[in-house]
Amino acid sequence: MESTLRIALIYPDLLGTYGDRGNALVLAHRARARGITAEVIEVDARSSIPESCDIYLLGGGEDAAQVAAAEGLMLAKATIERSIEAGSAIFAVCAGFQLLGNSYAAADGSELQGIALLDMVTTAGSDRIIGEVVIEPAQASGLPLLTGFENHGGRTLLGPGEAPLGRVIAGRGNGNGVDGVLRDGVIGTYLHGPALARNPALADYLISYTTRISLEPLTDDLVEQYRAERLAYASLTGANLKRATRRLHRG
Amino acid sequence: MSRARSQAAITVGRLAGWASRITGRGAGTQVGGRIMLAIDPGLLTKLGSQDRVICVSATNGKTTTTRLIADILRAAEIDVVTNHTGANMASGVTGALAAPHKPSVAVLEVDERWLTHVVDPLSPELLVFGNLSRDQLDRSGEVNAIVKRWRTITEADPTRHVIANSSDPHVVYASLPARVTWVALGIPWIHDATTCPQCSELLTWSDEGFKCSACTFCEPKADYRLDGEYFIAGERRIHLDLSIPGTWNLMNAALAATVAEAHFEIPAEVAIKAMSTVEVVSGRFSKHRLDDGREARVILAKNPAGWTEVLNWLNGRDAGVVVAVNAHIADGRDTSWLYDVNFEALQGLSVVASGERALDVAVRLRYAGVECIVETDPLKAALAAGGKEVDIIASYTQFTHLTKRFW
Ligand SMILES: [Zn+2]
């Protein structure tokens, strides 16, 4: 890695519907708190996606915006692949997450091409999924429970070679019991909030993946209090949360 | 349907409205209107034929603009009937028009999602279109869907007069088929309008305004224009001397002045004089005395565009700030929008995060580099805030709750 952590916010004017800029803020904040200088590069829809950024962020967007974003991403596919090869990370939410797959559903239900970075397809669901979500990540990831808010119509099916970000214990996620995708430094998810503001551990995961630095722990009481409130809220309906926490801690 | 049925509908509805009012449950027009429509679904069409109807719609500012237009007309000695705040769907409009009154100009605020339901039966002579931006995503769906619905209205009757904000691409696309008077209000919020409503390609902005990179869609030449605090009508440059604060109210006033001059032939100078004394619109900019003697101003902000406007206005005031946010359906259940708003503008001020979602606010402020304390009760929060006076900015349900507690 170069001396500065370069965070690329991709198409904030198209893929910024869910406060997605917040994810860049959190990454920069938590890097700087560890003495790592960080720079946020905003790549608007009229610019080409730069090579050799450390973390690429893709957010949510409305239908027309998602199609416009797909065109730009398609052109930059080789750039993105080379960057991943070189150790960059990608964090993609909602519409941005769907675009990384083989195909996604347009507003009218027709099938559109994604950039096929990941083996997955997104189809249109019969209803819109809206509400608080809690995800239990795979133990090997070292991540704690993840909290977020989801608002999407898509159902995402992962191919046999892909692993989800985690199991859904509240909410719906991909629509089949799991949420998102996790392949090394590439993370996709339906969680916004923004997700990194609610789950700083996820931000740290991305930073240490791409910098290969094992980060000093950084606990923020305010953020912990916020997480506890959101997790408690989402699990009002059951004891799932306690069980999941125990499972994660056993690991 | 018979006259008798319409009359019965109105009588029963008024009774229910009266019952709702005296039991303290509400202003009554909404409840009354709902019952009237249930008894006689065709009632709105009949009511609409009794008055000259104009409908005002927008994501932000429709309540204030409606109030300003009504005040201008009253000052010009025109009889006016208008709907109460919040009663801006078919039921509220019905309730307002069914109240006893002599033939008047009905100045109606209409929810942007309900416009077709109100315009079809009422057939208004004028539509006033302010702006369209993202509002409470999880409730209202996409802006583009609303734009399409508005467009079907203007396509259905191209002879109808529309007064529209030429700076907003969504509004322009929706208005184009009609007979339009354009007023350039300037658009501080372009986040939701980066693709062309006509062909979905990217829009570009320059000094001449917006323009599609692929098709012919572009910003129309304006007939009237807002320039800072001035309303520009041809060679005339008239100062907008208002008692209500902020850039957003200058935009509302410029829109109302255009309505006065271009539709009612009331000179803008006269209209602006009539607006200058309006201080409070439905509690929106009201001032209240706190227990410690300081003055608190309560400001409603409903969506990222509205918050951005309010925060820019706060900048440079010597006041403490309470940011009070809930996440009920009317506020938007998803609080992600907090990161679309430039809370960085509050750096250096005395700020309290408040409301049921005070922690969401506090975490957002942390990343904006704004020091704050957390107090969920907005009145206690106001007392805890520093400054010679306090501005309480509130999301919708916090705002309605607060104004009830103050009165
Ligand atoms: Zn176009």
In DSSP notation, B345-382 reads GGTTS-EEEESTTHHHHHHHHHHTT--EEE-SSHHHHH
A197 shares contact with chain B (CB less than 8 Å): yes
Residue A237: per-residue pLDDT:
55
Residue B267: per-residue pLDDT:
96
Distance from CA of B358 to the nearest CA of A (A): 9
pLDDT band at A241 (very low <50, low <70, confident <90, very high): low
Instruction: Kindly list the strands in the beta sheet with A55-58, ordered across the sheet, starting from the edge strand earlier in the chain.
Output: A37-43, A4-10, A55-58, A89-93, A186-189, A181-183
pLDDT band at B138 (very low <50, low <70, confident <90, very high): very low
Cβ atoms A12, A45 nearer than 8 A: no
Residue B50: per-residue pLDDT:
87
Q: What CATH superfamily classification does A4-245 receive?
A: Class I glutamine amidotransferase (GATase) domain (3.40.50.880)
A13 shares contact with chain B (CB less than 8 Å): yes
Whether the per-residue pLDDT at A77 is higher than 90: the answer is yes
Q: Do B137 and A68 touch (CB under 8 A)?
A: no
Task: Give A37's contacts (C-beta < 8 A, 6+ positions apart).
Answer: A3, A4, A5, A31
CA distance B202 to A45: 8
Residue B385: per-residue pLDDT:
95
Residue B365: per-residue pLDDT:
97
Other beta carbons within 10 Å of A158: 20
Q: Do B336 and A63 touch (CB under 8 A)?
A: no
Q: How large is the C-alpha radius of gyration of chain B? A: 21
pLDDT band at B18 (very low <50, low <70, confident <90, very high): low
Whether the per-residue pLDDT at B134 is higher than 60: the answer is yes
Terminal Cα distance for chain B, rounded: 43
Q: Given A29, A94, A152, A249, which residue is catalytic?
A: A94
Two tokens, residue A28: 């920069």
Instruction: Kindly list the strands in the beta sheet with B179-184, ordered across the sheet, starting from the edge strand earlier in the chain.
Output: B80-82, B105-109, B52-57, B126-129, B161-165, B179-184, B224-227, B230-233, B236-239
Two tokens, residue A129: 């999924």
Optimal mutation site among B213, B334, B364, interface A, most CBs of chain A within 10 A? B334
Average pLDDT over residues B1-28: 67
Q: Which of A13, A19, A46 has the CB atom closest to B338's CB atom?
A: A19
| Higher-pLDDT residue of A112, B138 | A112
Q: Do B363 and A226 touch (CB under 8 A)?
A: yes
Distance from CA of A34 to the nearest CA of B (A): 15
Contacts of B360 in chain A (CB under 8 A): 226
Q: DSSP 3-state assignment of A159?
A: coil
Average pLDDT over residues B8-35: 69
| Residue of chain B nearest A226, judged by CA positions | B359
Distance from CA of A147 to the nearest CA of B (A): 13
Q: Which of B134, B190, B359 has the CB atom closest to A229's CB atom?
A: B359
CA A55 to chain centre: 11
On average, the pLDDT of chain A sits at 91
Q: Which of B142, B202, B333 has the CB atom closest to A46's CB atom?
A: B202
Contacts of B364 in chain A (CB under 8 A): 22, 197
A53 classed as catalytic: no
* Measured CA angle at B25 (ends B22, B31), to 5 deg: 95
DSSP B341: S
pLDDT band at A70 (very low <50, low <70, confident <90, very high): very high
Q: Do B336 and A18 touch (CB under 8 A)?
A: yes
Instruction: Provide the number of CB pairs (under 8 Å) joining chain A to chain B.
Output: 88
CA distance B321 to A72: 41
Cβ atoms A175, A125 nearer than 8 A: yes
Whether the per-residue pLDDT at B29 is higher than 80: the answer is no
Whether the per-residue pLDDT at B353 is higher than 50: the answer is yes
Q: How many angstroms does the Cα of residue B203 sit away from the middle of ligand 1?
A: 7
Q: Which of B200, B204, B367 has the CB atom closest to A68's CB atom?
A: B200
Distance from CA of B110 to the nearest CA of A (A): 25
Q: What is the pLDDT of residues B178-210, one digit of tens each?
A: 999 999 999 766 666 678 989 988 888 888 899
| Residue of chain A nearest B334, judged by CA positions | A149
Average pLDDT over residues B236-245: 92
Residue A250: per-residue pLDDT:
66
Q: Do B200 and A67 touch (CB under 8 A)?
A: yes
Say what percent of chain A tops pLDDT 70: 95
Residue B108: per-residue pLDDT:
96
| Residue of chain A nearest B333, judged by CA positions | A131
Residue B23: per-residue pLDDT:
55
A193 shares contact with chain B (CB less than 8 Å): yes
CA distance A93 to A95: 6
pLDDT band at B19 (very low <50, low <70, confident <90, very high): low
Whether the per-residue pLDDT at A187 is higher than 90: the answer is yes
Residue B1: per-residue pLDDT:
47
Whether the per-residue pLDDT at A163 is higher than 90: the answer is yes
Whether the per-residue pLDDT at A28 is higher than 60: the answer is yes
Q: Do B336 and A193 touch (CB under 8 A)?
A: yes
Average pLDDT over residues A115-126: 95
Residue B350: per-residue pLDDT:
94
CA distance A191 to A208: 21
Q: Do A46 and B204 touch (CB under 8 A)?
A: yes
Q: Which of A13, A65, A151 has the CB atom closest to B137's CB atom?
A: A151
Distance from CA of B152 to the nearest CA of A (A): 19
Look up the ipTM and state it. Answer: 0.94
Q: What is the pLDDT of residues B317-331, one digit of tens each?
A: 789 999 999 999 888
In this prediction the pTM is: 0.80
Tokens 């957390």 belong to B374
pLDDT band at B42 (very low <50, low <70, confident <90, very high): confident
Contacts of A223 in chain B (CB under 8 A): 363, 366
A45 shares contact with chain B (CB less than 8 Å): yes
Residue B190: per-residue pLDDT:
62
Q: How many angstroms does the Cα of residue A34 sit away from the middle of ligand 1?
A: 46
pLDDT band at B22 (very low <50, low <70, confident <90, very high): low
Task: Give B145's contacts (C-beta < 8 A, 6+ positions apart).
Answer: none
Residues of chain B whose beta carbon is less than 8 angstroms from a beta carbon of chain A are 134, 137-138, 142-144, 190-191, 194-195, 200-202, 204, 333-340, 359-360, 362-364, 366-368, 374
Element (H, E) at B253: helix B247-264
Residue closest to A165 by CA, chosen among A184, A192, A193, A150: A184
Q: Which of B200, B202, B334 has the CB atom closest to A151's CB atom?
A: B334
| Residue of chain A nearest B344, judged by CA positions | A25
C-alpha distance from residue B49 to each of A91, A173, B42, B61, B106 (Å): 57, 51, 12, 27, 11
Residue A18: per-residue pLDDT:
83
Two tokens, residue B126: 């004028």
Whether the per-residue pLDDT at B124 is higher than 60: the answer is yes
CA distance A96 to B154: 35
Distance from CA of A23 to the nearest CA of B (A): 9
Other beta carbons within 10 Å of B377: 15
Average pLDDT over residues A54-71: 91
Residue B310: per-residue pLDDT:
87
Two tokens, residue A81: 């692949």
Tokens 């062309």 belong to B196
Average pLDDT over residues B301-321: 84
Q: Do B367 and A68 touch (CB under 8 A)?
A: no
Instruction: Give the least confident one: A119-133, B160-174, B187-201.
Output: B187-201
Q: How many angstroms does the Cα of residue B169 sit away from the middle of ligand 1?
A: 11
Distance from CA of B257 to the nearest CA of A (A): 33
Average pLDDT over residues B129-143: 70
Residue A115: per-residue pLDDT:
95
* Measured CA angle at A6 (ends A4, A11), to 5 deg: 165
The full set of domain ranges for chain A reads 4-245
On average, the pLDDT of chain B sits at 88
Cβ atoms B124, B55 nearer than 8 A: yes
Say what percent of chain B tops pLDDT 90: 58
